Amino acid sequence: MTASYILALDQGTTSSRAILFDRRGRMLQVAQKEFTQIYPRPGWVEHSPDEIFDTQAHVARDCLRQAGVQGHELAAVGITNQRETTVVWDRAGGAPVYNAIVWQDRRTAAVCDRLRAEGKAEIIRQKTGLVLDAYFSGTKIGWILDNVPGARARAEAGELLFGTVDSWLIWNFSKRGAHLTDPSNASRTLLFNIHTGQWDDELLDLLGVPRAMLPEVVPSSSLMTRVHPEFFGHPVPVAGAAGDQQAAAFGNACLHEGMVKNTYGTGCFLLLNTGARPRESRNNLLATVAWETPRGRSYALEGSVFAGGAVVQWLRDGLGFIRDSSEMEGLAASVPDNGGVYLVPAFTGLGAPHWDQYARGILVGLTRGTERGHIARAAIEAIALQTLDVMEAMRADAGLDLSLLRVDGGASRNNMLMQCQADLTGVGVERPVVTETTALGAACLAGLAVGFWQDEQEAASLWQLDRRFEPKMPEERRAELLHHWCRAVERSRRWIETEE
């Protein structure tokens, strides 16, 4: 094979990135561009679909230009994306009929309440592995069809298409040539039966989504389509796609049952590989498709924390508390402990294992002696404590002694956070050399499909350890933190008494 590189397109919640990898899994070039966050009402979060694609196309070209790489030198493109974010667009013209409704958006919480009151939550859980929550795509599609004039009639007539962000990117990069998704993204819609691997007619009827809108589901590692030559001057294969958290697990080489990773991005997402069968959760975790390769379909247990790195972003952008995210570690280290301060960042509700869409963020334990350092430390601890809540539920569900946590994402570079995570969970935390494992996972899935890497074992060998953090906190201090954290979480719950 003459092609020497894989291009990973990493379309995230706050920015679009493109990362160029070589055969050794090294990041050769990165290009990134942030895009607009739209908040029309409290609890509502939207993106412009056109801006999502425009920024992604821009950084893809920019990455290749900066690296001096031509399109014909690319073996394949892999795509990974913010999941659950919902786009509906015109089949003929390609124009979105509404802004993308982001995974964080809570506008359909009342719809979920109604369906739950009608006794529908259990059938949804049995078929999809998901809890009934506004987090997922299905109710977002329904909202667009019911609130955009004429949208439902047009959808039923086959004129509108739905996709998560991977589908939107594939549609546009192929110049409307392919309407596809993979099982990892499909399994996040409330519409996909994870046992049969198919869109489910009963669920489609329940949520009022016409089948004609849906993309074809193809394996996560497969020759899906080709990027139109307009973009890179060559028809490069799109050969890998996976939701960002599943891609991160693949990139973190969590390829065997029992391996677990946490990604510290806008949110925090723990995935435990459960092998070839979905494992039912008794502790409000999600059973989800991890990926599908020629070897078959793999599953995972997942716990989602809605606000991880978003906590730091809020302190920086919302409050002006810091000027740059890099200030957080030093500020938190300026005090010996949190001074009794706890932050519960339930800005858009609480995810796993609480699933309280009416919770809201609180900052408690303030005294006249509270300093900026205490609040910074409380913010770092909040990320680790939320992760601990999920990990405890995961341990109970899996019946396993989870003794190792692999980590990735931007906030994993914060040494204080990683040490705090090891201390609170009581397990070793391993950070890889390449912390952009989401993009690496997409690259690996694409590379395997075109023979760039021979097999999954070779792809897993690309993972290299940067640093391991061992637990050091005395048990008495750990118990104290957990006790007060649980009290703080309880005070944040059910804060909204009626739907906003």
Q: Which residues are annotated as a binding site?
A: 13-15, 17, 83-84, 135, 244-245, 266, 309, 313, 410, 414
Neighbours of 493 (CB within 10 A): 16
Q: Pairing between strand 216-217 and 180-181? A: parallel
The residues pairing with 404 across neighbouring beta strands, listed in sequence order, are 428
Annotated binding residues for ATP, written as ranges, equal 13-15, 266, 309, 313, 410
Q: Specify the amino acid at residue 233.
A: G
HSE-CB at 217 with a 13 A cutoff on CA atoms is: 23
CB burial class (10 A; 0-12, 13-18, 19+) of residue 458?
middle
SS3 track for 243-267: EHHHHHHHHCCCCCCCCEEEEECCC
From residue 255, give the alpha-carbon distance in Å to each of 45, 273, 443, 447: 33, 7, 15, 16
Q: Specify the amino acid at residue 306.
A: F
HSE-CB at 264 with a 13 A cutoff on CA atoms is: 28
Give counts: helices (H), strands (E), the chain.
17, 23
Residue 287 tokens read as 């059973």
The radius of gyration computed from the CA coordinates of the chain, to the nearest angstrom, equals: 22
Annotated binding residues for glycerol, written as ranges, equal 83-84, 135, 244-245
H-state helical runs in 252-366: 309-313, 327-332
Q: Are 366 and 392 in contact (CB under 8 A)?
A: no
Question: 402-424: b or e for each residue (b if 16 or more CB lie within 10 Å)?
Answer: beebbbbbbbbbbebbbbbbbbb
Angstrom distance (rounded) from CA 62 to CA 65: 5
Task: Assign 50 to helix, strand or coil.
Answer: helix
Distance of CA 289 to the CA centre of its chain: 13
Angstrom distance (rounded) from CA 364 to CA 428: 30
Phi, psi torsion values for 104, nearest 5 degrees: -75, -15
For the four alpha carbons of 86, 249, 438 and 353, in that order, the dihedral sign comes to positive
Phi, psi torsion values for 369, nearest 5 degrees: -90, 0
Q: Are 56 and 18 in contact (CB under 8 A)?
A: yes
Q: Are 434 and 393 in contact (CB under 8 A)?
A: no
First to last CA, the chain: 56
Annotated binding residues for sn-glycerol 3-phosphate, written as ranges, equal 13, 83-84, 135, 244
Annotated binding residues for ADP, written as ranges, equal 13, 17, 266, 309, 410, 414
